[in-house]
């Protein structure tokens, strides 16, 4: 039974028991209906308590039921039964009372909660609005501005705030059931019909226009491209403009339309994908069998931009960090960077003042490897150079205790080439952070051929501890994210070489939903950095890049980036790059004639006749080449599922969640179409290896394999 019915004295207790989060699936809804009807018909019962067993009050509708035929009783049926009950009903809340769970609570006549409980309407994160009265009922309690903000942001509201808003009647401590029974007894005999929200007027309804337009402008700023947040505002607005019944009808219609939309499907996919990637597997171990080692103390080698950002992540989670640099000057600069980031985060309210203060005491700057003798985990974040990294690991091997996990923040180098500098390659693992490390949520964890599953379990757990989304991949050059990003970035440059402007390429990407186009990204990360990476790649191939270079390792090469480098245009840091900026370090890109001249003279030098390139071609060439690489990554076993790729792109490169990630997006376009276009570009651009159509993609496209089956075909394709 998903809902247990018991009577304690004069109070009926309905205990929802549907682990892990008491989602309101069919069984729970049916159990609640039966329970309420039974309580109403039981003459011994004078009041009713609804409570959740285990870790939480219901955390929402059962998302797994979306898209399947709906079964009565619906949540609103439960709600109406509660609201019209002849006996008062009390919601006793602990854990996370979310979505449909909060809607049930709002149908109850009273709500009490434990101090650490949270409430919220996170439907917006699933591409939806609340669909069982939340948009019509919350505003009647809290007023319009709070209801609009809570629903369009989806944030989880701490219980003391919820009490301030009027959502919670009483915060109780100790045993929740005991407190709920006492509360339910205390209200017996009191009139309670005025507690039904549907009869209440919406406070501030006369200013609805003003509130809605303020909320809408926030939504447009913060959630560009997303449909649901706007619909949230419109639905709450309806609560002030329509009767309760009409408002409920409006909410139902909008909920139904969104449920059928591509965005909701993609966002729900992303919700489950994010959880699926925690179930990692590698040769010899998995999340089920491997044991994470305790991490109580850490060290970061290198106090540059990445190293300081990584130190901030560890410190914010309350972990002590040794920050090691090679000299006093660099060390001081690293410490200052850490302090500035922490101060900035505290100012923006991202971390508390206490966390920032505590972090200052946890940071231990050092110049000596000897200090790292007892740390549990070290993250190396020095400059991307194999010899240097090997030198660092050889030193770590000499001083660190045997059980220490040695991590590298390399963004491209094969882990095996680094781990062989130690006598313990089983303890060496990649922990690739994305810039800015304290902000981007992806942690790409990488295992080499000799990395132990326990080392992997340790960094997967560490990812959660520092509030990242960890994804596990097998080592190869560029791993998952940067390997897929390579054709994406190369095609951007080739498109400009052939005739597009950087702003046209950026615009096509931003129209698709990327927060910032690839040329603005290059200006941000530094043209000198991509220049250096190209040289490292050439060096690894035993060759050099000159003005004449057109191919690198048999692959098409464009030297436009080098021309910008030669002119000292490194991007924002020099005030000019692909764009011009108002000042050195400026943030607002302006189209620049010198930039256009560099591009045009490059084309003339190479005899390229500029042609008009459509936004569709820009889109296909960047995203389809990266999707093809994604299939190659799956095919080679660099990762196991398309979910791992999609989550990496959502959290590493801010791919729009409402499109689900590049692989899910490919499934929505249709693999046959994607495959045909890749074949077309392979014919028209034969000198780019990334256009060689992948065989797994070909097989899935030809057999019209649905997305849910892709992962099953992956393992077979590797045989």
The footprint of ligand 3HC (CB under 6 A) covers 20-21, 23, 59-64, 75, 96, 98-100, 103, 122-123, 126, 130-132, 134, 272, 275
Least Å distance, CB 62 to ligand 3HC, is 4
List helix spans (H) across 87-186: 100-107, 134-142, 144-153, 159-165, 176-186
Note if the bond before 312 is cis, omega within 30 degrees.
Answer: no
Nearer to ligand 3HC among residue 63 and residue 689 (C-beta):
63
Q: Where are the alpha helices (DSSP H) in 423-479?
A: 453-465
Within 10 A of 400 (CB to CB), how many other CB atoms are there?
Answer: 24
Strand-pair partners of 382: none
Q: Are 244 and 136 in contact (CB under 8 A)?
A: yes
Q: With respect to ligand 3HC, which residue has the nearer C-beta, 28 or 480?
A: 28
Q: Which of 83, 123, 251, 497 is catalytic?
A: 123
Nearer to ligand 3HC, 64 or 220 (CB): 64
| Least Å from the CB of residue 93 to ligand 3HC | 13
Closest C-alpha among 498, 499, 505, 500 to residue 520: 505
Structure tokens at 215: 């909320």
For residue 132, the minimal CB distance to ligand 3HC (Å) is 4
- DSSP class of residue 74? P
Cis peptide leading into residue 559 (ω within 30°): no
Instruction: Determine the distance from the C-alpha atom of residue 540 to the mean position of all C-alpha atoms in its chain, rounded to a whole number.
Output: 34
For the chain, how big is the Rg over CA atoms in Å?
28
* CA distance linking residue 83 with residue 75, whole number of Å: 12
CA-CA distance, 445 to 459, in Å (whole number)? 7
CB of 134 to ligand 3HC, least distance (A): 6
CB nearer to ligand 3HC: pick between 578 and 651: 651
Strand ranges for 490-564 from DSSP E: 551-552, 555-556
Least spacing, CB of residue 259 vs ligand 3HC, in Å: 9
Minimum distance between the CB of residue 329 and ligand 3HC, rounded to whole angstroms? Answer: 43
Token reading at 28: 């729970």
Residue 103 a catalytic site member: yes
DSSP assignment letter at 571:
B
Peptide bond into 20 cis (omega under 30): yes
Nearest-approach distance from CB 10 to ligand 3HC, in angstroms? 32
- Which residue number, 120 or 285, has a Cβ lying nearer to ligand 3HC? 120
Nearer CB in complex with ligand 3HC: 232/382:
232
What are 181's two structure tokens? 């029974």
- The token duo for 424 is 């313990």
Select 256 or 553, whichever has its Cβ closest to ligand 3HC. 256
| Element spanning 428, H or E | strand 428-433
Q: Which lies closer to ligand 3HC via its Cβ, residue 268 or residue 308?
A: 268
- Minimal distance in Å, beta carbon 137 to ligand 3HC? 11
Looking at the Cβ atoms of 15 and 267, the one nearer to ligand 3HC is: 267
Query: What's the per-residue H, E or C state across 168-211?
Result: CCEECCCCHHHHHHHHHHHCCCCCCHHHCHHHCCCCCHHHHHHH
Known catalytic residue at 123: yes
Nearest to 583 by CA among 591, 594, 574, 592: 574
CB 269 within 8 A of CB 126: no
Distance between CA atoms of residues 188 and 107, nearest Å = 18
CA distance 322 to 368: 10
Of the chain, the end-to-end C-alpha distance in Å amounts to 45
- CB of 260 vs ligand 3HC, minimal distance in Å: 15
CB of 609 to ligand 3HC, least distance (A): 53
For ligand 3HC, the closer CB: 181 or 639: 639
Rounded least distance, CB 103 to ligand 3HC, Å: 6
- Is residue 557 a contact partner of residue 526, using CB atoms and an 8 Å limit? no
List phi, psi (to 5°) of 638: -65, -35
Q: Name the token pair of 379.
A: 């993250």
Q: How far is the CB of 78 from ligand 3HC (least distance, A)?
A: 11
Phi-psi region of 14 (alpha: psi -120 to 50; beta: other; left: phi over 0): beta
| Residue among 183, 188, 192 nearest 51 (CA) | 183
624-647 as b/e: b if 16+ CB within 10 A: bbbbbbbbbbbbbbbbbbbbbbbb
Q: Please identify, using beta-carbon distances, which residue of 27 and 320 lies nearer to ligand 3HC.
A: 27
**φ, ψ of residue 87 in degrees (nearest 5):** -125, 140
Q: What are phi and psi for residue 286, nearest 5 degrees? A: -160, 180
Q: Which of 243, 266, 228 is nearest to 99 (CA)?
A: 228
Would you call 112 helix, strand, or coil by DSSP?
strand
Out of 65, 72, 83, 103, the active site residue is: 103
Q: Quick one: 66 or 531, whose CB is closer to ligand 3HC? A: 66
Tell me the closest approach of the beta carbon of residue 227 to ligand 3HC, in angstroms.
Answer: 16
Indicate the burial class of 252 (C-beta count within 10 angstroms; 0-12, 13-18, 19 or more).
middle
Burial 312-351, CB ≥16 within 10 A → b, else e: bbbbbbebbbbbbbeeeebbeebbebbbebbeebbeeeeb
* 70 in Cβ contact with 38 (< 8 Å): no
- Name which of 176 and 277 has its Cβ closer to ligand 3HC: 277
Which residues are annotated as catalytic? Answer: 103, 123
């Amino acid at each position: 039974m998903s809902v247990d019915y018991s009577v304690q004295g004069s109070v009926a207790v309905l205990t929802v028991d549907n682990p892990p989060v008491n989602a309101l699936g069919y069984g729970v809804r049916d159990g609640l209906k039966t329970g309420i009807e039974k309580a109403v018909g039981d003459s011994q019962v004078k009041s009713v308590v609804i409570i959740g067993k285990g870790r939480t009050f219901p955390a929402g509708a059962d998302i797994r039921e979306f898209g399947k035929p709906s079964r009565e009783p619906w949540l609103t049926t439960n709600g109406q039964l509660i609201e019209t009950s002849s006996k008062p009903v009390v919601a006793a809340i602990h854990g996370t009372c979310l979505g449909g769970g909060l809607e049930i609570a709002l149908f109850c006549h009273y709500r009490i909660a434990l101090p650490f409980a949270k409430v919220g309407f996170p439907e917006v994160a699933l591409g939806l609005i609340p669909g069982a009265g939340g948009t019509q009922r919350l505003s009647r309690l809290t007023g319009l501005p709070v209801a609009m903000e809570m629903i369009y942001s989806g944030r989880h509201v701490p219980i003391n705030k919820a009490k301030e808003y009027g959502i919670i009647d009483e915060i109780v401590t100790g045993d929740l059931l005991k407190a709920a029974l006492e509360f339910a007894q205390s209200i017996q005999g009191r009139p309670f019909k005025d507690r039904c929200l549907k009869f209440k007027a919406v406070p501030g309804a006369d200013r609805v226009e003003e509130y809605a337009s303020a909320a809408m402008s926030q939504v447009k700023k913060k959630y560009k491209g997303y449909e649901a947040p706007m619909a949230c505002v419109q639905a709450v607005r309806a609560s002030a403009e329509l009767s309760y019944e009409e408002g409920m009808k409006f909410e139902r219609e909008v909920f139904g339309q969104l449920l059928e939309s591509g965005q909701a499907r993609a966002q729900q996919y992303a919700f489950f994908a994010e959880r699926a990637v925690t179930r990692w597997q590698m040769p010899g171990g998995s999340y089920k069998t491997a044991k994470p080692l305790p991490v109580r103390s850490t060290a970061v080698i290198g106090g540059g931009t990445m190293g300081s950002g990584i130190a901030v992540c560890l410190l914010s989670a309350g972990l002590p960090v040794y920050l090691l640099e090679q000299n006093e000057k660099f060390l001081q600069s690293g410490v200052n960077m850490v302090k500035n980031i922490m101060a900035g985060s505290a100012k923006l309210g991202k971390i508390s003042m206490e966390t920032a203060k505590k972090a200052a005491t946890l940071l231990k700057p050092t110049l000596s490897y000897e200090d790292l003798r007892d740390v549990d985990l070290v993250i190396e974040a020095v400059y991307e150079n194999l010899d240097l990294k090997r030198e660092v690991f050889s030193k770590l091997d000499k001083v660190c205790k045997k059980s220490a996990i040695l991590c590298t923040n390399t963004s491209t180098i094969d882990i095996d080439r680094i781990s062989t500098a130690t006598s313990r390659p089983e303890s060496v693992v990649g922990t690739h952070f994305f810039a800015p490390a304290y902000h981007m949520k992806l942690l790409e964890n990488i295992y080499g051929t000799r990395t132990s599953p326990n080392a992997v379990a340790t960094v997967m757990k560490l990812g959660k501890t520092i509030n990242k989304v960890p994804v596990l991949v097998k080592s190869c050059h560029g791993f998952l994210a940067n390997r897929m990003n390579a054709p994406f970035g190369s095609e951007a440059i080739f498109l400009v070489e052939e005739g597009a402007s950087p702003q046209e390429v950026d615009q096509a990407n931003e129209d698709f939903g990327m927060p910032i186009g690839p040329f603005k990204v290059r200006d941000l990360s530094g043209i000198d950095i991509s220049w250096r990476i190209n040289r490292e790649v050439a060096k690894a191939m035993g060759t050099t890049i000159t003005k004449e270079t057109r191919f690198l390792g048999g692959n098409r090469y464009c030297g436009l980036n080098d021309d910008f480098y030669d002119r000292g245009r490194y991007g924002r840091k020099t005030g000019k790059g692909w764009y011009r900026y108002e000042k050195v370090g400026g943030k607002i890109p302006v189209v620049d004639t010198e930039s256009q001249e560099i591009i045009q003279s490059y084309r003339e030098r190479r005899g390229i006749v500029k042609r008009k390139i459509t936004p569709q071609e820009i889109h296909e060439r960047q995203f389809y080449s990266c999707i093809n690489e994604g299939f190659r990554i799956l095919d080679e076993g660099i990762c196991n599922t398309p979910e791992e790729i999609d989550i990496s792109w959502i959290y590493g490169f801010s791919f729009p969640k409402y499109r689900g990630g590049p692989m899910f997006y490919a499934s929505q376009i249709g693999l046959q179409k994607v495959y045909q276009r890749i074949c077309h570009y392979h014919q028209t651009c034969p000198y780019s290896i990334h256009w060689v159509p992948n065989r797994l993609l070909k097989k899935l496209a030809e057999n019209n394999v649905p997305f849910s089956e892709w992962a099953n075909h992956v393992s077979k394709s590797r045989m």
